[in-house]
């Protein structure tokens, strides 16, 4: 199982950005933990972070044929990027949405996800565990070879 993990804008600041909301782990530490979690089940991970909507769409496109599933934290784009929504839908890659914080309990603008309708599941509010649960969900899906 090949998993594409995409982190959206400002997640490069993890560790120093609102640690009371997003935790103390850096992006590097988070990616290492995701890879370790996935590797324990024999899955491979390609992880990227981008602050740009167009670059996220280019990363999705470039890695879609390699990936069996997508784990995406679209960050602030969650709430308004129809472009990323359309890309996820167009690539027909099984997708799972992730958030470190519980967006349903924060400011009203964060309670809306335009990405959720094109995802199979959403995990939120559990810090890095949200990602681990998304990985586990993807591992429950069949890969492209039907394995």
**Binding region for ligand DQA (CB under 6 A):** 10, 73, 75-76, 78, 99-101, 103, 110
How far apart are the C-alpha atoms of 118 and 92, rounded to whole Å?
A: 9
Active-site residue identified among 7, 37, 77, 99? 99
Q: Give the nearer residue to ligand DQA in terms of CB position, either 70 or 100.
A: 100
Q: Give the nearer residue to ligand DQA in terms of CB position, either 46 or 110.
A: 110
Q: Provide Rg for the chain, Cα atoms.
A: 14
82 is catalytic: no
Kindly give, in sequence order, each residue whose CB lies less than 8 Å from that of residue 118, ignoring residues fewer than 6 positions away: 85, 88, 89, 95
99 is catalytic: yes
**Least Å distance between CB 79 and ligand DQA?**
6
**Least Å distance between CB 106 and ligand DQA?**
7
Active-site residue identified among 7, 22, 37, 77? 22
Q: What are phi and psi of 34, to 5 degrees?
A: -65, -45
Q: Give the nearer residue to ligand DQA in terms of CB position, either 1 or 77.
A: 77
**Least Å distance between CB 147 and ligand DQA?**
30
Angle at the Cα of 60 from the Cα atoms of 118 and 68, rounded to 5 degrees? 75
Nearest to 121 by CA among 101, 142, 107, 141: 141
The residues annotated as belonging to the active site are 22, 99
């Amino acid at each position: 199982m090949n998993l594409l993990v995409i982190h959206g804008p400002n997640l490069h600041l993890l560790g120093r950005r609102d640690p009371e909301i997003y935790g103390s782990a850096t992006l590097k530490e988070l990616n290492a933990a995701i890879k370790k979690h996935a590797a324990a089940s024999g899955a491979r991970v390609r992880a990227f972070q981008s602050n740009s909507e167009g670059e996220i769409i280019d990363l999705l496109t470039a890695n879609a044929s390699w990936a069996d599933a997508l784990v995406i934290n679209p960050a602030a784009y969650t709430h308004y990027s129809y472009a990323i929504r359309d890309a996820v839908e167009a690539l027909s890659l099984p997708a799972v949405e992730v958030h470190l914080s519980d967006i349903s309990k924060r400011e009203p603008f964060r309670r809306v996800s335009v990405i959720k309708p094109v995802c199979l599941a959403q995990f939120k509010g559990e810090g890095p565990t949200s990602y681990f649960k998304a990985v586990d969900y993807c591992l429950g899906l069949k890969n492209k070879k039907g394995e």
